[in-house]
Structure 1
Amino acid sequence: MNQSRQQTDIRGGRGSVVLELGNSSSTPTTIFEPQTGIDKRESSNINSLSLSDPNTDRAPEKKLTLFALRLAVLEKAATSLGTLGFIWATVVLLGGFAITLDETDFWVITVILVVEGARIFSRSHELEWQHQATWSITNDDGTNNFRSIFKTIQTEPKRTPTRKWETSDVPLLPYAPWVFLSRNVSKLLYFLQLASAMACVVLSLMKLIKHNYGEVAKGDVDKRNRKAALTIFYALALAEACLFLLEKMYWEYKVIICKLLDEVNNECQLGVLGMVSIKRFFYDAYSKCINGSIFDGLKMDMVSFAMELLESNSPDEQLIGARILREFATSDRFSEDTLQKIGINLSIIERLVEMLNWKDPEEEEIRLSAAEILSKVACKKQNSLRVAGISGAVESISSLLQTNRTLNSASDEIFERKLVVYNGNYSFWTFNHLGLLILKKLARDHDNCGKIGNTRGLLPKIIDFTHTGERLLKNEMVTESQIMTVKRSLQLLQMLASTTGVTGKQLRKEISEVVFTISNIRDILQYGEKHPTLQQLGIEILTSLALEEDATERIGGTGGVLKELFSIFFKEGMPETYNHVKIVAGQALAMLAMESRQNCRRIMKLDHAIGKLLAALEAPLLRVNSARILTNLCAYSGGDGFSQLRQLTSSLPIVLGYISIEGNKLQEVMVGLAARVFEYTAKDELRMMFEKAGMDEDELGKTVVKILKKHRYPPAKTPRIRRFVVELAISMMRTEKANVENFRRIGLEIELEHIMETTSEVESFNIFSGMVGMNRHNTSIHSLVEIALKLMQNK
């Protein structure tokens, strides 16, 4: 029985999707019945702060764009007044009153124009230097932040990164680099502006208060408007300087006192390294507002900003963009909108896929971020189709799977670990983990499974991750990373092996032909008692592979596989959580025994196999699959072990009792088993068994007809029940001639004729892969009905 499982992956967000052959229920769905569709479930950990909540602030960065807008209004107003003042001074004052100006006014105006020119110059370049400070993610010594943090954490894993890692500076000259850092140059220009503005305020106020513009003699036409012109100029200069200082005060208040950048960084959940991204975003928005329309910055958002940086040619800009997209894509709060924007932007998906191939150590974090983003993007099936549709995408993803690893002790890592700093917490994520996760999400689509199978060397890589060994599974100190890697590789293999159609057939063939596939699963069955999920996945893979005849023989011929399955099926003293493993083990044994004479012989050679299976018929958890196994042993053993199968006669009272109980799977499998048991039972023994069961053959005949009347058309849940009923009726008529007359009397012939008119292709198969029938019955139901009708017509 394949159980539906819901997995949670990589820090919440969109969870992983696992394909199953059936649903979890009290009466489990199995591959022995057709499925209307493959169960596909997506787990989502979107919490109460989901983007769908209208009361939630969907875009915290809007606080920065609004802040940039207000600053730009003040800046442009000050610049406009400054331009007007400059024109007034040069055209009106120096042009019209240059000769008549008082010497003091002349020099004051000159000084004001010079300091204002210096302020405007330093203002324009200060923004460039502030912006430049966010272009590089390097420390003062030129080393990369990621590597510095990695080395520090290796020695001090509990230490929190300092602000030094959050600042980014570009040393301009090799001499006295602390002087020529972009950060220090920006500060120098900043203070120069403040000094210029203060000087302008002081000079303008002094002249406006004293009002000493020189005497104007009566009749002096040339000096008639000089006083008004000077007053207007000083007022303009004062207003400009005051607006600029107001802008600076507002800037300092919001950034230093209100800590707006820190607030937005926290709301965006960008972690300890997020300030670089936040500053870069703010300066970009402010630059747009200053250099273009004041509303240009309002159009910006963090996701679009990050996507632009990701397509840049600068490694530092790529890293900033990758960090932002990674954090937003993995955030419960922002993931939905972020993944939607990425999903509709094919060029970004192509860029992310391209980054998976980057092998430069300097680009490790970018590559890892790209893998993590893709693992989230692929959560949505439509996005996974876009990812897989990119030429070479599967090959790029397969490059994440590094198989140079050891599993010799619990302290061994499955592969080399890489570091990602996330929200101030240190989490180790691996390329292997993410590679397997992306492939698992792509494998939800049938065509993608084919692409994975056709990628050269990929299947052996995936199978290699299923290698465990006794020391790994039995060691209590085993790392969660090791178990997770094995689990994901098994999940991926299970999805590939359960693919339907021609693609599934080819995948099962290729998987089973890899020499380590079955032996690796055998180790998991043998030593994985502490990890029932791994055992269940391994058994489900074997069950799916058994759909192919060659694979069935390989599995049975691999020493210990059938023995381990049998041991798991009958394991006692296990918690209820282990029941699912026992059920799928029984299903696997039934599959492996189907149409395989060699496997039937191997099962019957197991210690007390028939006796245990007979005893399991009374165990509610085991009886369905025990009946299936016994039915297949009787049908396909080819006469081998006849003396052992004769033991089934003693189970007839139990089987007959279950046939009378109306149900679905249980009644179906018991009718099928009864038809086989009748072939191994003599007449005298049959009478004894009927007496022991407290019923006679007439009652059984009525039950048979009643089942046919209930199932006038082939049911999807029990597609073989009518076939089994006809087989049972044939066995009863062959065993005892009196049953023929009894069946005529109770109307079996009418029901048989109705079966002829309502037969369906669904009744022609033993097992199903989704809605595709597998393993066609040797004898059609039409032929069985004709045999039964002939027996009834013979007197």
Structure 2
Amino acid sequence: MTIKKTQNSEDDGSIRLQVIQQPSVDSSYLGDLRGSSFFEPQREGSNPTPTGQENTKSHNSSHWDNAPEKKLTLFALRLAILEKTASGLGALGFIWATVVLLGGFVSPLKKKDFWVVTVILLTEGTRIFSRSHELEWQHQATWTITDAGKHSFRAIVSSSRIFIRVIKATFRPFSAIKSESQQQRHIADDIQLITQTQVLPPTRQRTWKSSDVPVVPYAGWVFLSKNISRALYWLQLLSALACMTLSLMRLIQQDYVEEEPEDGNMKPALILFYALALAEALLFLLERAYWEWQISICKLLEQVNRECDLGPTDLVSIKRFFYDAFSSCINGSVFDGLKMDLISFAEELLHSDFHDEQLIGVQILQKFVNSDRFSSDTLRKVGSSTEVMERLIEMLSWKNPEEEKIRRSAAEIVSRLSGKRQNALRVAGIPGSMESVSSLLYTGRKFDTKPYEIWERHLVADQINYEFSAFNLLGLLILKKLANDHENCWKIGNTRGLLSKIIDFTSTGERLLRNDMVTESQIKAVKRSLQVVKKLVSTTGETGKMLRHEISKIVFTVSNIRDILEYGDNHMLLQMLGIEIITSLAMNQDAREKIGSTGGVIRQLLSILFKPRLTEDQNKVSIEAGEALALLTFDSVQNCNRVLKEEVIERLVDSLTDPVLQINSSRILKNLCAYSGSENIFCLRGVTAAAPTVLHSIMVEEGKILEVSIGLTKQIFRFMSPEEYDEELNRACISANNFVKKLVQILEKYNLPHIKVPRIRRFVVELVIWLMKSQEKYIQLFKKFEMDKALKFVAETTSELECYPFFSGSIGLNRQDQSLSSLVDLAFELLMK
């Protein structure tokens, strides 16, 4: 089995497993040989905060790169300037005509000019009115996003064809208006095509969908709101063309009066009015030409959609954003649209009452948080909005099949948010957030019999196409990231039923682990559930103590891990995670006994410990198995007896020469000697064969090996007479003088408590006491090499660090019955005899 580390949108640094003949495990996951363990305290608060994302790439090629929608807001600004300038000229011409021409010259005004002015005013008024409302209707007409599956792209293309066809029709020659009926037939055909290709889910809304509102009853499709925008569009286009034609015609003819008095002003007044009307119409047509150039020729909407890393079906979202920006520029200041961005736009849509709008908003955010270019800004902005985060958390609990895509996208966003520590704290701080995350987990198994919960499961389970596996993976990924924080672990543990759900995903068995046809999602679900459990049980302090107690109480926890150890030969990563969980649980005395009493666990750990190793990865798994056994056998008579029943003393002694197993094998042998019952004394006699090895290690080794060798030596000497261990010293070519001198040197070297070898001075003092009690000659030797000075310095520098056999973070567990200071006092008494 190979374990390949990849980056994807669901799991930062996720592991993909592929089964091949040679089992292996990803060294990037397992890391180096453990430089620290539960036998050493860990300083807390210095770990780097997980970000849940790769460093974003720098894009300095253009100032548009990090916000492509700026092109649309700038385009909307320029259009709004042209639009407002044209409207201003139109308003000025309207005032001029009503006050000066029709008011001051209405009597002498020629009948022809009277009607031309009147027609221009009416058509211009119609255009301004239709323009002010066209955007409103056009804005609503953009809500055509559907869940049409394979037909969705075809529908977008069809609607885009209508859009381009209408725009192009604007700038055809004036004579082309004669073919309007033919164009309308093409539009009708396109509308029918879209209707056939779009497959809307049968959502049940208590309000009207704006694009389907029948404004006039029994009027058919003509008065549907989605068609009114088209009518208004053509109305203002025809009005502008009419104004331009009439104004240009009268400016060319200039037969306003037959003979105007020298002081008459009618002709200049008419020229000014027709010029204003012509300029206003030309500006409007210039705006339309600019629109056509950018939208149809340059394909600005498609370009921005592509630069935002959105798909073809998201083009509707870009259109809606553009219309929103344009409307803001038209209805308010021309600069209002510049304040808009796609992230804020998507956040607003999340609070809509319509599924289509919610889906647009959540999918934009989903794609942005998974983009290397936009994820940083998006996560920061979404994470700083409590309302948005509350809405996303609420979406996690939506179980209606019609809302499946919304729920899944929201889960992906929350999983990305949870990768940042500050955001993870905010997510967990939202009331009901853990319950919402828990609702993502569904295994199909029932552990309780409460009627409403069973009904809820069946409600979702009846939907055969519902993607439970995807939601399970996302839910476990969110919990995995949230569990990076100590406070969040406490909340996970106190959420009703959540721990049982997580443990349930660790259920495997032979049919799953030894099945070549198993899906990647099934293995990934087991892996993520084990990762979550590992983070919970390795939590420090009172929270960790509570979690270890609660998790060990779940009857399936240890048995599920046992199955992984027994059948997971092809999934070494799962075995590694399972062993790490056993190791953490073993810090609790009650859990230690439960693990040992679960049949097969100790046997499987021993099997993994002594399993032939061909790769570095297998070495690491064996090291972890040894550490688990060292914790399980600590202060547990029953577990020590279970290990002895496997008849492994000789193999443990032999493994003391194995650099990979030496440390943990020494710890296991020490525990077996210290805590086994008196009935096992005969079985333990075989441990004396390790004497030459551990004595040699004391003389030449340093660090952890030295520490465990000293601790084991004292236990070995308990099974030997004074003559026997003197003989062992001679066999190892070590004189009593050199041995005593070495012990004094060790205390002098480690003159202060050391975090990497916190028990080394304690073990030395214990061995010194044993030697002085066994033979008086050692008292004289220790006096000779000034052991009293070394002991005095130890007495002045003792600390709590040296009073515990193992640690949870910086907190010591299972305090020793006898403190180091009392041992030093006893050594002084013996030394002073």
Q: Is the 8 A contact 1:443 1:449 kept in 2?
A: yes
- Structure 2 residue aligned with 1:108: 116
The CA distance in 2 between the partners of 1:160 and 1:718, in whole Å, is 69
- For 1:171-320, what aligned pairs fall within 5 Å after superposition? 171-173=212-214, 184-218=227-261, 224-320=264-360
Are 1:582 and 2:625 matched, yes or no? no
> Which of 300-309 and 596-605 deviates more?
300-309
- For 1:714-753, what aligned pairs fall within 5 Å after superposition? 714-753=753-792
The one-letter amino acid of 1:502's match is: E
- Structure 2 residue aligned with 1:643: 682
Are 1:480 and 2:488 matched, yes or no? no
- Structure 2 residue aligned with 1:777: 816
- Structure 2 residue aligned with 1:141: none
The partner residue of 1:539 within 579, 586, 591 is 579
The partner residue of 2:85 within 71, 77, 90 is 77
Where 2:312 maps in the other structure, the secondary structure is coil
Q: Is the 8 A contact 1:310 1:321 kept in 2?
A: yes
Count of residue pairs brought into register by the alignment: 754
Are 1:36 and 2:36 matched, yes or no? no
User: Shift of the alpha carbon at 1:181?
Assistant: 5.8
The CA distance in 1 between the partners of 2:630 and 2:584, in whole Å, is 12
The CA distance in 2 between the partners of 1:176 and 1:693, in whole Å, is 108
Instruction: Show structure 1 runs of 5+ residues with no match.
Output: 17-21, 138-144, 154-158, 407-413, 421-426
- Structure 2 residue aligned with 1:691: 730
- Structure 2 residue aligned with 1:424: none
Q: Please list every run of at least 4 consecutive aligned residues from structure 1 whose deviation after the TM superposition is greater than 6 angstroms.
A: 12-16, 51-56, 165-169, 174-178, 414-420
TM-score, L = length of structure 1: 0.89
Q: Is the 8 A contact 1:13 1:331 kept in 2?
A: no
The one-letter amino acid of 1:791's match is: L
The CA distance in 1 between the partners of 2:48 and 2:672, in whole Å, is 34
The CA distance in 1 between the partners of 2:774 and 2:632, in whole Å, is 30
Q: Is the 8 A contact 1:165 1:273 kept in 2?
A: no
- For 1:36-435, what aligned pairs fall within 5 Å after superposition? 36-37=43-44, 39-40=47-48, 42=50, 45-46=53-54, 49-50=57-58, 57-135=65-143, 137=145, 145-146=146-147, 148-149=148-149, 163=157, 170-173=211-214, 184-218=227-261, 224-404=264-444, 430-435=470-475
The one-letter amino acid of 2:72's match is: L
TM-score, L = length of structure 2: 0.85
- Structure 2 residue aligned with 1:704: 743
- Structure 2 residue aligned with 1:453: 493
The CA distance in 2 between the partners of 1:26 and 1:320, in whole Å, is 48
User: Shift of the alpha carbon at 1:532?
Assistant: 1.5
Q: Is the 8 A contact 2:759 2:802 kept in 1?
A: yes
- Structure 1 residue aligned with 2:650: 611
The CA distance in 2 between the partners of 1:677 and 1:545, in whole Å, is 29
- Structure 1 residue aligned with 2:9: 10
Where 2:343 maps in the other structure, the secondary structure is helix
Deviation by residue 1:214-269 (Cα, 9 ceiling, x = unmatched): 312557x6xx2111111111111111111011111111111111111111111222
> Which of 168-177 and 203-212 deviates more?
168-177
The partner residue of 2:633 within 593, 614, 633 is 593
> Which of 709-718 and 479-488 deviates more?
479-488
Cα distance change, pair 247–53 in 1 and its aligned pair in 2 (3 A): closer
The CA distance in 2 between the partners of 1:123 and 1:609, in whole Å, is 90
Report the identity percentage.
54
Cα distance change, pair 235–126 in 1 and its aligned pair in 2 (3 A): same
Are 1:527 and 2:526 matched, yes or no? no
The CA distance in 2 between the partners of 1:13 and 1:176, in whole Å, is 56
**Larger RCO (CA under 8 A, 6+ residues apart):** 2
> Which of 322-331 and 767-776 deviates more?
322-331
The CA distance in 2 between the partners of 1:573 and 1:387, in whole Å, is 43
Q: Is the 8 A contact 1:713 1:758 kept in 2?
A: yes
Cα distance change, pair 292–758 in 1 and its aligned pair in 2 (3 A): same
The CA distance in 2 between the partners of 1:481 and 1:615, in whole Å, is 42
The CA distance in 2 between the partners of 1:324 and 1:464, in whole Å, is 34
Q: Is the 8 A contact 2:51 2:421 kept in 1?
A: no
The CA distance in 1 between the partners of 2:154 and 2:749, in whole Å, is 70
Deviation by residue 1:63-106 (Cα, 9 ceiling, x = unmatched): 11111100000000000011111111222112222222222222
The one-letter amino acid of 1:617's match is: L
- Structure 1 residue aligned with 2:18: none
Cα distance change, pair 236–461 in 1 and its aligned pair in 2 (3 A): same
Cα distance change, pair 328–768 in 1 and its aligned pair in 2 (3 A): same
The CA distance in 2 between the partners of 1:67 and 1:692, in whole Å, is 92
The CA distance in 2 between the partners of 1:665 and 1:415, in whole Å, is 54
Where 1:391 maps in the other structure, the secondary structure is coil
Where 2:700 maps in the other structure, the secondary structure is coil
The partner residue of 1:674 within 702, 713, 717 is 713
Q: Is the 8 A contact 2:69 2:341 kept in 1?
A: yes
Where 2:678 maps in the other structure, the secondary structure is coil
Cα distance change, pair 93–309 in 1 and its aligned pair in 2 (3 A): same
- For 1:436-585, what aligned pairs fall within 5 Å after superposition? 436-585=476-625
> Which of 246-255 and 171-180 deviates more?
171-180
Cα distance change, pair 558–711 in 1 and its aligned pair in 2 (3 A): same
- For 1:753-768, what aligned pairs fall within 5 Å after superposition? 753-768=792-807
The one-letter amino acid of 1:187's match is: R
Instruction: Show structure 2 runs of 5+ residues with no match.
Output: 16-28, 161-193, 199-209, 447-459
The CA distance in 2 between the partners of 1:212 and 1:136, in whole Å, is 52
- Structure 1 residue aligned with 2:691: 652
Deviation by residue 1:395-423 (Cα, 9 ceiling, x = unmatched): 122111112169xxxxxxx9999999xxx
User: Shift of the alpha carbon at 1:720?
Assistant: 0.3
Are 1:634 and 2:673 matched, yes or no? yes
Cα distance change, pair 116–507 in 1 and its aligned pair in 2 (3 A): same
The CA distance in 1 between the partners of 2:63 and 2:701, in whole Å, is 54
Cα distance change, pair 546–14 in 1 and its aligned pair in 2 (3 A): closer
Deviation by residue 1:702-739 (Cα, 9 ceiling, x = unmatched): 11111100111110111000011112222333343322
Cα distance change, pair 485–226 in 1 and its aligned pair in 2 (3 A): same
Q: Is the 8 A contact 2:156 2:315 kept in 1?
A: no
The CA distance in 1 between the partners of 2:612 and 2:73, in whole Å, is 65
The one-letter amino acid of 2:130's match is: S
The one-letter amino acid of 2:333's match is: S
Cα distance change, pair 6–623 in 1 and its aligned pair in 2 (3 A): farther
Where 2:132 maps in the other structure, the secondary structure is helix
The CA distance in 2 between the partners of 1:781 and 1:165, in whole Å, is 82
Q: Is the 8 A contact 1:6 1:42 kept in 2?
A: no
The CA distance in 2 between the partners of 1:52 and 1:238, in whole Å, is 45
- Structure 2 residue aligned with 1:623: 662
User: Shift of the alpha carbon at 1:463?
Assistant: 0.5
Q: Is the 8 A contact 1:463 1:516 kept in 2?
A: yes
Q: Is the 8 A contact 2:212 2:226 kept in 1?
A: no
Q: Is the 8 A contact 1:509 1:551 kept in 2?
A: yes
The CA distance in 1 between the partners of 2:441 and 2:84, in whole Å, is 54
